[in-house]
Structure 1
Amino acid sequence: MICVDNQPLSVVENKGFRKLIAFLEPRYSMVSRKFLANTLIPEMYQTTCEKVKGLLVQTEYISLTLDMWTSSAKDDFMGITAHFIDSEYEACHVALEVRPFLEVSHNAENIIHFILELCESWNIEDRIFVIVRDNARNITAALNSSTYQHLPCLAHTLQLVIHDAVLKSASLSNIFSVCRWVVGHYKHSTAATKVLKKAQATLGVKQHRLVQDETTRWNSSLHMIQRLLEQKQAVTLASSQLAGVNEELTSTQWELLKNIAEVLEIFNQATLVLSSSSVTISEVIPIVNSIIKHLEDLNLPGLTGVRNDLLASLKLRFKEMETRKVSELYN
């Protein structure tokens, strides 16, 4: 239960949980947190490792996906997932490890040493077909120094395309700024929140909170815009009743937001497809070509330049994707 539901080990010390277990089975003696951490989970981990190694040893070709990140506590980690076809011709995906990255420097030499050590520990270093990575220069340089074929994550590359054409657009920066101010005003003011809820009730609009975007996640900007569009009438009514609302969206800006959402939704749908555990590299070409076709068919006032920038970035980052080798694909 703890592993499947990602619960803290301290759950076994919670009074409510202990009372529940005692009610279900009074004869059961609750395990301690220490016993869980030092005995049960390590035993489960070793059993699972042996099972995974048994699957891997039967596999001739294994592909990997890597992800490196820093936690909120400023600890560095690298996650590695193996993808392969088993003896029954079923696609398998196994998260091998999330291992702390203890080196101070994230340079290419330290990263490739870390990756090689991890692969050797699972005895798969000579059976790797391709490694999927992000677009970070240090990860790319690390794998360039190895003999492994590698290519960047499609979802991350699409994020860079959006950053190139939308998030860095001077013509759109002002409207995003106004949106953030409007959302921030309602999120940080109790009085404004109450007025908005009253406006929602008066108009019969869903009483949803406004969404603030995060600069590192493009889809959060889409969610912010979509929620504002949903709450357009309520926000307009509430703003007319509030003092101190220094910035408001004009009718032209509201129309532009609708068009921006339509453009970003194309990429959002592609990202949702890519989030499936069954997605494969064979879907790169149809997904990218589908995005290009949708963009070419769009005729949205005020966004012609942005659409053209998106198309240019896509065609640059995915040039010759139908003819290049895997090791050369959209580098």
Structure 2
Amino acid sequence: SACKPKNPVQTSLTVSFANAIPYDKKSRRWLDLTRAITTHICKDMAPIHTVEKEGFKALVKTLDARYVMPSCKYFRQVELPSLYMSCRSEVENELRDVAHFATTTDLWTSRSTQLYMSLTIHFIIRNWTLCSRCLQTL
């Protein structure tokens, strides 16, 4: 009937405690979140110190309270080199089957008058798609 009291769903103590325990640093979830933050730093050219900013920490804690973010030093010494090697390996595998390519260089100056030079490779893959990969920026 319409007057029947509803049975409230109460979280068990086991579930509550499990949700309060931080992820193990070898767990899939911790690794995925750490890689996502590393990708954000690289793709959005965010300073590595972003991970130490209070606002960013609050955002991450709101998204997943069980995630304990590693230090800036960890990202610099472990995650960024790991992502670099992974990307490098992907590009090397991509270029193995390329018979012909062209390279271009680009020179520019930042707002702070820092000089940069990039080397980019251009090639066409089997389905006639033009691809470009920046190989290095100095």
Q: Which residue of 2 aligns with 1:189?
A: none
Amino acid at match of 1:54: N
Higher helix share: 1
Percent identity (aligned): 31
**Unaligned residue ranges in structure 1 (runs of 5+):** 100-331
* Distance in 1, Cα, partners of 2:88 & 2:132: 14
CA RMSD of aligned residues (A): 1.6
| SS across alignment from 1:23 | helix
| SS across alignment from 2:66 | coil
Name which of 19, 37, 61 aligns with 2:58.
19
Q: Which residue of 1 aligns with 2:126?
A: 87
Matched, 1:7 2:46: yes
State the TM-score, normalizing by the size of structure 1: 0.28
Which is bigger in relative contact order (C-alpha 8 A, separation at least 6)? 2
**Unaligned residue ranges in structure 2 (runs of 5+):** 1-39
* Distance in 1, Cα, partners of 2:43 & 2:86: 16
- Displacement after TM superposition at 1:29 (Å): 0.8
* Distance in 1, Cα, partners of 2:113 & 2:64: 42
Amino acid at match of 1:55: E
Tell me if the contact between 1:68 and 1:76 (Cα under 8 Å) persists in the aligned partners. Answer: yes
* Distance in 2, Cα, partners of 1:71 & 1:24: 34
Q: Which protein has the larger Cα radius of gyration, Structure 1 or Structure 2? A: 1
Amino acid at match of 2:58: K
- Displacement after TM superposition at 1:28 (Å): 0.5
Amino acid at match of 1:16: G
Higher strand share: 2
Tell me if the contact between 1:58 and 1:87 (Cα under 8 Å) persists in the aligned partners. Answer: no
State the TM-score, normalizing by the size of structure 2: 0.65
* Distance in 1, Cα, partners of 2:64 & 2:111: 39
Matched, 1:77 2:113: no
- Structure 1 residues 24 and 71 mapped into 2: Cα distance closer, same or farther (>3 Å)? closer
Aligned residues: 99
* Distance in 1, Cα, partners of 2:59 & 2:89: 34
